[in-house]
């Protein structure tokens, strides 16, 4: 059965954009919090591994930039490269934070799994957004053949 109006494609794009909006909102909150409340993050033992890698302000800037990239990708869905860039950055940071919490959970008997499972859910949203993006075939024209 054909989809002449492209309804499935629009639904897929809407799903990808909805996932990106959830991630962007969450990352914006995290970024602002890390930038404006660095002492709160430093006082929380669960973040010790992450703050050993980069200070709070640096993490805040990373989250804010990713939130801005995701927002731009939502606003300009035709710029697929922007979506790929934003989702790749989000996946890298989300996975890094998730793994840091797995390490913390494995090495500390006073840590619960809610942190790393939350980051696993964010990774799922990122992967789902990537899966919902349209991947159009790119044709490279050959000499004398305008259709590739």
3-state SS, residue 99: helix
> 37-87, pLDDT tens digit by residue?
999 998 888 788 889 899 999 999 999 999 999 999 988 877 788 999 999
- Name the band, by pLDDT with cuts 50, 70 and 90, for residue 141: low
DSSP 8-state assignment for residue 142 = B
pLDDT of residue 77: 75
Distance CA 26, CA 94 (A): 11
Residue-wise over 108-130: b if at least 16 C-beta within 10 A, else e?
Answer: eeebeeebbeebeebbebbeebb
pLDDT of residue 140: 56
Distance CA 95, CA 121 (A): 10
- Name the band, by pLDDT with cuts 50, 70 and 90, for residue 138: very low
Distance CA 102, CA 46 (A): 11
Cα separation values, 6 from 79, 134, 145, Å: 18, 12, 28
- The mean per-residue pLDDT over the stretch 24-33 comes to 96
Half-sphere exposure at residue 56, Cβ-oriented, CA atoms within 13 angstroms: 16
Q: Average pLDDT over the chain, rounded to whole? A: 84
Q: Is the pLDDT of residue 4 over 60?
A: no
β-bridge partners, 145:
142
pLDDT of residue 34: 96
Q: Is the pLDDT of residue 20 over 70?
A: yes
- Name the band, by pLDDT with cuts 50, 70 and 90, for residue 148: very low
What values do phi and psi take at 113, rounded to 5? Answer: -80, 0
**pLDDT > 90: percent of the chain:** 46
pLDDT of residue 5: 46
pLDDT of residue 127: 92
């Amino acid at each position: 059965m054909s989809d002449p109006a492209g309804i499935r494609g629009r639904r897929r794009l809407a799903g990808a954009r909805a996932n990106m909006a959830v991630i962007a909102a969450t990352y914006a909150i995290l970024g602002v919090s890390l930038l404006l409340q660095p002492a709160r993050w430093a006082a929380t033992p669960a973040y010790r591994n992450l703050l050993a890698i980069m200070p709070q302000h640096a993490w805040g800037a990373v989250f804010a930039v990713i939130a801005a990239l995701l927002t731009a990708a939502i606003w300009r869905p035709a710029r697929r490269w922007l979506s790929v860039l934003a989702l790749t950055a989000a996946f890298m940071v989300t996975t890094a934070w998730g793994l840091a919490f797995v390490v913390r959970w494995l090495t500390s008997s006073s840590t619960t799994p809610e942190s790393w499972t939350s980051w696993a859910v964010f990774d799922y949203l990122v992967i789902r957004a990537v899966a919902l993006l349209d991947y159009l075939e790119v044709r490279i024209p050959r000499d004398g053949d305008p259709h590739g």
